[in-house]
Amino acid sequence: MAEGPLQVRGEVLATRRVGAYRHLTLVAPGIAARTRPGHFVALAVGGPDTALTLRRAFSIYQVSTQGVFGGTVELIFAVQGAGTAWLAAAASRTPVDVVGPLGKPFALPRDRVSATLVGGGYGSAPLFGLARSLRSRGCRVDVVLGAASADRLFGALEAKRVATTVEVTTDDGSAGTRGWVTDVLPAVMERAGTEVVYACGPMGMLRSISEVAAAAGVPAQCAVEESMACGIGVCMTCVLPVVGEDGLTRMVRSCVEGPVFLGDRVRWDALGTVPADAVGAPPMSDPDE
């Protein structure tokens, strides 16, 4: 399989609403064949002469290498600003510059293990391709989906097709159990005999999932969400404190070293800071530059 990212001129094939989110299908020749679950793409938004200068990064929901379009890439996103609004309104055949696949994907187990997949909001998008990969390896797959409300859940029906069991939680109780994914996760893991957890969603949720997994002595592979300017490893904006194999904390780029990290390696309590024991941390306060 060819490796590494491509930069291609893609185009919008279709956009449709899914609850509170948008489901975008892009024709992006060559990218699909290189994509594995957990990879992401970075899109140029706004069209030519736009005032939007930075790439927008999106995790990949699924890809298709088949068909007459030379490969499609599907994304789920929420309209949050001018860039995503442009994308949501882009007509079919609108050209979109696509860079991908980017990042390190989820690591797949060699053995037939019991895997529990946990997604928050549209963060669940990359978990369905992952679930199919795990199933094809003979793994048991259980899914837990959580969101603020029913319209912000993504993929509950699809989860039922790929998973042995599906649990749903919402903050307001409009679907499934009222509460957070971590309220139901210990029971799911107990029942499924979970040997590995995969998670994608907001940072606070990933932190809680990592704690539950750690308490059960199970590794958690977490795909993080950090804001990025480039997605390719040059801008140094998407860093977070991660403990390396040598036990030292470094500010690492989530776009190239991640977005998938082992939950017990991320210094969740120190997000948004540079821990004093990080490699190269300033001795005291850092003067202005």
Partner 1 sequence: MSDPDDITVRTVQPPRPPQRARCDLTTHLGAIELPNPVLTASGCAAAGRELDRFFDVAELGAVVTKSIMLKARSGRPTPRMAETASGMLNSIGLQGPGIDAFLEHDLPYLRERGARAVVSIAGGSVAEYTELARRLRGAAGVSAIEVNISCPNVSNRGLVFARDPAAAAAVVTAVRRQSAPSVPVFAKLSPDVTDIVSIAHSCVAAGADGLSMINTLLGMALDLDTMRPVLAGVTGGLSGPAIKPVAVRCIWAVHAALPDVPIIGMGGVRSGLDALELVLAGASAVSVGTAIFGDPGAPLRIRHELETALVDRGFARFSDAVGYGHREQT
| Residues in 54-73 that interact with partner 1 by CB under 8 A | 54-55, 68-70
Closest to partner 1 by CB, 67 vs 193, is 67
51 binds partner 1 (CB under 8 A): yes
> Taking CB under 8 A as the rule, does residue 271 contact partner 1?
yes
For position 101 contacting partner 1 by CB under 8 A, the verdict is: no
CB-CB contact of 43 with 96 (8 Å):
yes
Please list the residues that pair with 249 across neighbouring strands: 243
Which residue number, 148 or 281, has a Cβ lying nearer to partner 1? 281
Show contacts of 163-171: CB within 8 Å, 24+ apart. Answer: 163/117, 163/131, 164/140, 164/192, 165/191, 165/192, 166/142, 167/142, 167/143, 168/144, 169/144, 169/145, 170/146, 171/147
Q: Is the dihedral of CA 29, 228, 151, 124 positive or negative?
A: positive
- Of 44 and 141, which CB lies nearer to partner 1 in the complex structure? 44
Q: Is 283 exposed, middle or buried (0-12, 13-18, 19+ CB in 10 A)?
A: exposed
Site string for partner 1, 2-31 (x = CB under 8 A): --xx-x---x---------------x-x--
- Per CB under 8 A, 245 contacts partner 1: no
Please say which residue, 180 or 261, places its beta carbon nearer to partner 1: 261
By the rule CB under 8 A, 233 interacts with partner 1: yes
Which of 211, 251, 265, 267 contacts partner 1 by CB under 8 A? Answer: 251
Taking alpha carbons only, the member of 128, 278, 264, 287 closest to residue 207 is 264
Among 252, 258, 198, CA closest to 225: 258
Choose the binding region for partner 1 from 18-26, 112-120, 151-159, 237-245 (rule: CB under 8 A). 237-245
Out of 87, 90, 98, 232, point to the residue binding partner 1 (CB under 8 A): 232
Give the binding site for partner 1 (CB under 8 A): 4-5, 7, 11, 27, 29, 44, 51-55, 68-70, 97, 99, 226-227, 229-230, 232-240, 250-251, 256, 271-274, 278-282, 286-289
